[in-house]
């Protein structure tokens, strides 16, 4: 059996403090037994027998308290010990010689009461600490003579004094030693707790930084929201800002599109008392919005209503942007697949028609020797080849716009427009179309020049292609107007025009406004797709027979 099991038994003691005091109580009971045996031997050796029965009582009640302590009746064991030693010391002090030193033990009784009882019953410890003072006074002033007064040889008085003084000092020293040990244990426990707490706080702080989480506490009844330093940092604020927030103040940070959902979520979870999660956008100090995941749990008050809500916000801005980008790519992929199906069908038709016509013309040329007929057939072949060449160019433009990255470059709009007109100069002049460029020579924008060239080229080519060359003054006018951080590029003509019912569809792939249209139906579609890349847009004003005006809106800088 171990020393521990001997003193306090094998039963588990859950509290470390209870264990310490149980050990002390058993040791004190052991001291009572040892002191009892010592004085029995001392008095017997000196022929004094009057106290031997009382010493036996002291040892007996020491054993009783020892058994009670092992059975975890701690208060009863303590009271038995204190009552026993107080009563017996009073009896000894009443009849013993005043110079025998018995009164030293009253100090031990008082100290034992404060140490053994204060942890369990503060009031009772004070009562038992004062009891030795009362008993000592009574023993000194009143002769109760509860037992016969012993007769001592003169030297026995000195022996008793030395014995009582030494044992009293040792008993008190034992008590003080216990207090010192108890204090040392408390200090070490406090140091360990402080170290563990600091380590826990550091790990907690690291975990919060790792998860990008900011903690908040909402005291519902006070309507006070307390946020952590990292919560403020996530929104771009310093530690000294955002003091004494309320729930209404918090809602002012929420994006307008998320406000209804957030308010409803808070109300539902306040009612149901369940943990909640909500994704929302919060306004940062710079005025921009970032996505966060808000999670919280409720602590209920005694009346069953939410008393405190403790939660956290986690930065999910990158994830949400990735999700939005993925959703956009899925939409673009679906659109691409749909357009690919249409493209394959229309492209095969548009390429097969001129090829079939070309084969027919070659077949006819083989059957004639007339130079004039051969020349006519060759010119017709050239027209079919040009049609195919134009179609292939449009397909190439579409592919480049879809595949290549943007290359923002400063572009002088007037220089670019004149360059495009120069390319188209022969057919324009041949048909006697008046073309004007009304653009400020200093106007520059930061954009992708190759894409912008495709846009202007297609619009000018269409204006030329669908002109009425029989009128007095056929014209194409290219002009610009700067409005804020955008520029409006307008291409206006007085050609055949477009009926209003076609305006919403002319930018669709392979759409032709009439059966007599010469183009493939890709030109305006490519313009629209290219403008989407350049963060611009296009609109049209036109009616049948009254020309058309296309307005392109572009940002001054990509």
Q: What is the pLDDT of residue 338?
A: 67
Angle between helices 104-117 and 154-211 (to 10 degrees): 20
- Answer yes or no: do 137 and 221 share one domain: no
- Look at residue 194 and tell me if it is in a domain: no
Q: Look at residue 512 in the predicted model and tell me its pLDDT.
A: 59
Q: Are residues 170 and 279 in the same domain?
A: no
Percentage of residues in the chain with pLDDT exceeding 90? 11
287 inside domain: yes
Note down the domain range covering 279: 212-315
CATH number of the domain that residue 342 is part of: 1.10.287
71 inside domain:
yes
Q: How many CB atoms lie within 10 A of CB 186?
A: 12
Is residue 289 situated within a structural domain? Answer: yes
Question: Do 429 and 380 lie in a common domain?
Answer: no
Give the pLDDT score at 343: 57
Q: Residue 205 domain-assigned? A: no
Final residue of a domain: which of 253, 280, 315?
A: 315
| Residues 6 or more apart whose Cβ sits within 8 Å of residue 468 | 474, 494, 495, 496
Q: Does residue 90 sit in the same domain as residue 161?
A: yes
pLDDT in tens, 226-279: 888 888 888 888 888 888 788 888 888 889 888 888 888 878 877 777 777 888
pLDDT digits (tens, 9 = 90+) for 84-105: 999 998 988 888 777 778 888 8
Determine, yes or no, domain membership for 478. yes
Same domain for 278 and 385? no
**Does one domain contain both 38 and 89?**
yes
165 in the same domain as 61: yes
Q: What is the C-alpha separation between 355 and 302, in angstroms, rounded?
A: 88
The residue among 403, 424, 451 that closes a domain is: 403
Instruction: Examine the fold and report which residue of 173, 188, 203 is the final residue of a domain before the chain moves on.
Output: 188
For the domain that residue 440 is a member of, what is the CATH number? 3.30.565.10
How much is the mean pLDDT over the chain?
80
Q: Is residue 268 part of a domain?
A: yes
CB 216 within 8 A of CB 226: yes
Is 133 in the same domain as 67?
yes
CB within 8 A of 467, min separation 6: which ones? 431, 433, 474, 476, 493, 494, 495, 496
Question: How many domains in the chain?
Answer: 4
pTM over 0.75? The answer is: no
Contacts of 195 (CB under 8 A, 6+ apart): none
Check whether residue 224 and residue 115 sit in a common domain. no
Looking at the structure, do residues 117 and 41 belong to the same domain, yes or no? yes
Residues 277 and 379 grouped into a single domain: no
Q: Pick the more confident residue, 208 or 242.
A: 242
């Amino acid at each position: 059996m171990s020393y521990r099991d001997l003193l306090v038994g094998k039963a588990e003691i859950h509290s470390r403090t209870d264990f310490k005091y149980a050990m002390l109580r058993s040791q004190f009971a052991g001291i009572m037994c040892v002191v009892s045996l010592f004085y029995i031997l001392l008095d017997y050796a000196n022929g004094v027998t009057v106290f031997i029965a009382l010493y036996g009582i002291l040892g007996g009640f020491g054993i009783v308290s020892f058994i009670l302590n092992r059975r975890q009746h701690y208060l009863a064991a303590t009271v038995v010990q204190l009552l026993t030693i107080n009563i017996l010391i009073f009896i000894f002090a009443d009849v013993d010689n005043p110079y025998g030193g018995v009164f030293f033990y009253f100090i031990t009784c008082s100290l034992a009461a404060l140490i053994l009882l204060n942890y369990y019953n503060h009031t009772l410890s004070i009562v038992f600490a004062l009891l030795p003072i009362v008993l000592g006074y009574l023993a000194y002033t009143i002769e109760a003579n509860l037992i016969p007064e012993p007769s001592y040889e003169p030297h026995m008085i000195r022996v008793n004094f030395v014995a009582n003084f030494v044992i009293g000092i040792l008993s008190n020293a034992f008590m003080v030693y216990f207090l010192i040990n108890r204090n040392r244990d408390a200090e070490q426990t406090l140091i360990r707790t402080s170290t563990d707490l600091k380590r826990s706080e550091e790990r907690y702080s690291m975990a919060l930084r790792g998860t990008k989480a900011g903690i908040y506490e909402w005291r519902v009844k006070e309507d006070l929201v307390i946020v952590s330093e990292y919560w403020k940092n996530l929104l771009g604020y310093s530690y000294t800002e955002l003091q004494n927030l309320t729930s209404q103040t918090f809602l002012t940070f929420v994006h307008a599109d998320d406000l209804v959902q957030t308010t409803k979520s808070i109300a539902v979870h306040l009612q149901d008392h369940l943990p909640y999660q909500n994704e929302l956008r919060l306004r940062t100090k710079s005025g921009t919005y970032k996505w966060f995941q808000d999670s919280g749990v409720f602590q209920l008050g005694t009346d069953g209503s939410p008393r405190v809500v403790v939660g956290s916000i986690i930065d999910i801005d990158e994830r949400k942007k990735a999700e939005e980008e993925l959703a956009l790519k899925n939409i673009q992929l679906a659109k691409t697949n749909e357009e690919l199906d249409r493209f394959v069908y229309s492209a095969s038709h548009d390429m097969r028609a001129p090829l079939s016509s070309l084969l027919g013309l070659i077949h006819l040329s083989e059957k004639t020797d007339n130079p004039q007929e051969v020349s006519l057939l060759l010119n017709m072949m050239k027209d079919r080849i040009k049609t195919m060449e134009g179609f292939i160019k449009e397909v190439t433009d579409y592919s480049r716009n879809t595949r290549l990255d943007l290359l923002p470059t400063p572009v002088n709009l007037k220089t670019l427009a004149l360059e495009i007109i120069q390319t188209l100069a022969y057919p324009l002049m041949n048909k006697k179309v008046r073309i004007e460029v009304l653009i400020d020579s200093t106007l520059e924008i930061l954009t992708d020049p190759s894409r912008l060239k495709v846009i202007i080229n297609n619009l000018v080519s269409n204006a030329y292609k669908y002109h009425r060359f029989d009128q007095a003054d056929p014209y194409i006018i290219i002009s610009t107007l700067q409005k804020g951080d955008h520029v409006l590029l307008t291409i206006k003509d007085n050609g055949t025009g477009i009926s209003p019912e076609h305006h919403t569809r002319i930018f669709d792939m392979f759409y032709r406004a009439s059966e007599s249209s010469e183009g493939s139906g890709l030109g305006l579609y490519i313009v629209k797709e290219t403008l989407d890349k350049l963060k611009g847009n296009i609109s049209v004003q036109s009616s049948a027979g009254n020309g058309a005006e296309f307005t392109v809106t572009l940002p001054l800088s990509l």
